[in-house]
């Protein structure tokens, strides 16, 4: 890779100490998988980036600008990860945000080990960390990720690859880094409503559209932990690892997850 980090389009390994993303988590980010130099689901990522920037009243970068960054970071047909951070830039001390200010930090990374080959089946237990409910920020991939940091640390302590997380009102939301889908005995699909907490992922949106094209009933709704026992399959997805089957939830085996995951990968655009 020609350069690992670009800040506002220029090779740079540092940001100013008064950057509001560092001081307050005042910004958003998105993670894009790159296959042979090309971004996967690029249009969906652009849509999510624009949504997130609008939610924080941040000026969104033009697609052509991001594509220029992409070409600079991935000049050859290589695989990897493109991370896009839009912070509010430098602002000094104090919460009040400056107007029309933004800093673009775009970086290239190698694919993580779990992204090679078909996604491995996951065994999920409930995380001891709950996601705080904040409807104003629900769905937004903002820079405040301390809950996920603590949840990932808990995974490491328990020897788990991932965990499912509930919000502070007790409803199922997602895993520490993936969106969730469930299939019941009537082949109806369910996914947690992202209205109080959680992130609206690009792969989640692509799968929702694919289910609609296939005529599959999908219920976006609040799901209580005691309802998980009614599902025979579960999937966990994100843009880096794709759609992974969940073979067990809280110690209960899920018989049909692998088959559902194969089918879902086949219909997603």
CATH class of 122-267: alpha beta
Tell me where in the chain the CATH 3.30.470.10 domain(s) lie: 5-111
**The dihedral formed by the CA atoms of 56, 59, 64 and 69, expressed in degrees to the nearest 10:** -70
Band (pLDDT 50/70/90 cuts) for residue 133 is: very high
Share of the chain above pLDDT 90, in %: 89
* Confidence (pLDDT) at 90: 93
* Confidence (pLDDT) at 1: 41
For the stretch 221-263, pLDDT in tens is: 999 999 999 999 999 999 999 999 999 999 999 999 999 999 9
pLDDT (average), residues 160-178: 97
pLDDT (average), residues 54-60: 95
Average pLDDT, the chain: 94
Looking at the predicted structure, is the pLDDT value of residue 3 above 60? no
Using CA atoms, how far residue 189 sits from 87, 171, 223, in Å, is 36, 17, 12
* Confidence (pLDDT) at 2: 44
pLDDT (average), residues 45-69: 96
Tell me where in the chain the CATH 3.20.10.10 domain(s) lie: 122-267
Looking at the predicted structure, is the pLDDT value of residue 153 above 50? yes
Share of the chain above pLDDT 70, in %: 99
* Confidence (pLDDT) at 32: 97
For the stretch 92-112, pLDDT in tens is: 788 998 888 899 999 999 998
pLDDT (average), residues 69-88: 94
- CATH number, domain 5-111: 3.30.470.10
DSSP for the chain, written as a single string: ---SEEETTEE-S---TTBHHHHH--EEEEEEEEETTEETTHHHHHHHHHHHHHHTTPPPPPHHHHHHHHHHH--SS--EEEEEEEE--B--SSSSPPTT--EEEEEEEPPPGGGSSSPPPEEE-B-SPPBPP-GGGTB--BS--HHHHHHHHHHHHHT-S--EEEBTTS-EEEESS-EEEEEETTS-EEEE--SSSSB--HHHHHHHHHHHHTT--EEEE---GGGGGGEEEEEEEETTTEEEEEEEETTEE-TTHHHHHHHHHHH--
For the stretch 184-223, pLDDT in tens is: 999 999 999 999 999 999 999 999 999 999 999 999 999 9
* Confidence (pLDDT) at 8: 95
Largest Cα–Cα distance of the chain, in whole Å?
A: 56
Q: What's the whole-model pTM score?
A: 0.94
Looking at the predicted structure, is the pLDDT value of residue 154 above 50? yes
């Amino acid at each position: 890779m020609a350069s690992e980090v670009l800040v506002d389009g220029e090779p740079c390994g540092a940001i100013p100490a008064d950057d509001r993303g560092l001081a307050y988590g005042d910004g958003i980010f998105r993670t894009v998988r790159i296959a042979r130099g090309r971004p996967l689901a690029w249009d969906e990522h652009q849509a999510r980036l624009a949504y997130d920037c609008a939610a924080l009243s941040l000026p969104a970068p033009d697609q052509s600008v991001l594509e220029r960054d992409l070409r600079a970071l991935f000049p050859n047909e290589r695989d990897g990860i493109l991370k896009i951070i839009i912070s509010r830039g430098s602002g000094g001390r104090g919460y009040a945000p400056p107007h029309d200010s933004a800093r673009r930090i775009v970086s290239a990374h190698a694919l993580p080990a779990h992204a090679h080959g078909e996604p491995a089946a996951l065994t999920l237990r409930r995380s001891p960390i709950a996601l705080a409910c904040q409807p104003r920020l629900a769905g937004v991939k903002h820079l405040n990720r301390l809950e996920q940091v603590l949840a990932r640390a808990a995974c490491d302590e328990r020897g788990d690859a991932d965990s499912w997380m509930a919000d502070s009102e007790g409803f199922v939301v997602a895993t520490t880094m993936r969106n969730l889908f469930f299939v019941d005995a009537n082949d109806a699909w369910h996914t947690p409503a992202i209205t109080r907490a959680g992130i609206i992922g690009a792969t989640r949106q692509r799968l929702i559209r694919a289910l609609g094209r296939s005529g599959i009933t999908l219920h976006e709704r609040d799901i209580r932990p005691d309802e998980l026992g009614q599902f025979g399959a579960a999937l966990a997805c994100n843009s880096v690892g794709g759609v992974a089957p969940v073979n067990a939830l809280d110690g209960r085996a899920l018989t049909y997850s692998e088959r559902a995951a194969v089918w879902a990968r086949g219909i997603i655009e």
